[in-house]
Amino acid sequence: MAHAAQVGLQDATSPIMEELITFHDHALMIIFLICFLVLYALFLTLTTKLTNTNISDAQEMETVWTILPAIILVLIALPSLRILYMTDEINDPSLTIKSIGHQWYWTYEYTDYGGLIFNSYMLPPLFLEPGDLRLLDVDNRVVLPIEAPIRMMITSQDVLHSWAVPTLGLKTDAVPGRLNQTTFTATRPGVYYGQCSEICGANHSFMPIVLELIPLKIFEMGPVFTL
C-alpha cells in the first residue's frame, strides 16, 4: 500500500501492474528528454547573441521536427495498446468473484462455492484493533489464492462506483444494470487495499476494498474466509 511521502507507484503484485509500471517509466523518460531539449533550446535563445541569416529557410530542420514527434508518439502508443489488450484478456479463470457496489459498501459472491455471499463494510474507528488501518480496513476481507487467474464480475445496485486496487493494476467501473469484468493473477501473498474510485455520494470515501491473498494450497484446504 501507499505510504507517506511516496513518490512512485505502489509495488506491483500482478503481471499487469508490472507492465504498467514499466510503461510509466518508459513514457516518463521520453517526457524528461523532451523537456530537457526544449529548456536547452530556450536557454540558448535567451543567452546567445549569434544570429544566422539562413535559419529562416531550413527545410531539413522542418522535416526532422515534423517526423521526430510522430516517431515518438508511435513509441508511446505501441506499448500502450499492447497493455490495453492484455488487460482485456480473460483465459480460463480458476475462480470467479462477483462484486456489487452499494451506497456505501461492497457485496461479494463466490459463484464457484455454492453462492457464498457476504457484505464488506468499513470498520468504524471504535472497532479498530492495533495494527488496523483507519478508513481502509473492513469487517470481511475477500480471500483469494495467488498464482491463479481470478475473474472479477463487477456491477452496482444504485449509483456508479469503481472497484480499484492499485497494487494489482485494477480499476473497473461498477455500473447499474451492466456487468463489467476484469481479471488478474496475484504473484505474492499479502493484504492489499483499494477504494471506490468514482464519486458516489456523501460516504464515497468510506467504502474500502481489502483483498487477502494466500497460497493456493492453503486456499484449497477449506474455508478460510474471514467472516
- Across residues 41-50, what is the average pLDDT? 80
pLDDT at 227 over 50: no
Backbone angles phi, psi at 150, to 5 degrees: -115, 135
- Of 88, 112, 127, the residue that ends a domain is 88
Q: Give yes or no for a contact between 45 and 30, defined as CB atoms under 8 angstroms apart.
A: no
Residues 59 and 129 in one domain: no
Q: Give yes or no for a contact between 189 and 213, defined as CB atoms under 8 angstroms apart.
A: yes
Residues 150 and 207 in one domain: yes
- Assess if residue 206 is contained within a domain: yes
Report the pLDDT value the prediction gives residue 51, as an integer from 0 to 100: 64
Domain count, the chain: 2
Which residue shows C-alpha cell 455520494? 201
Longest pairwise C-alpha distance within the chain: 81
CATH number, domain with residue 204: 2.60.40.420
Question: DSSP secondary-structure letter at 173?
Answer: E
- Assess if residue 214 is contained within a domain: yes
- Across residues 153-163, what is the average pLDDT? 93
Residues 114 and 169 in one domain: yes
Please provide the average confidence, as pLDDT, over all residues in the chain: 88
Quick one: pLDDT band at residue 106, thresholds 50, 70, 90?
very high
pLDDT at 52 over 90: no
Predicted TM-score (pTM) of this structure? 0.82
- Across residues 35-52, what is the average pLDDT? 83
Quick one: pLDDT band at residue 222, thresholds 50, 70, 90?
low
Domain that holds residue 25: 15-88
- Across residues 196-205, what is the average pLDDT? 88
48 burial level (CB within 10 Å; 0-12, 13-18, 19+): exposed
Residues 79 and 105 in one domain: no
Q: Give yes or no for a contact between 181 and 148, defined as CB atoms under 8 angstroms apart.
A: no
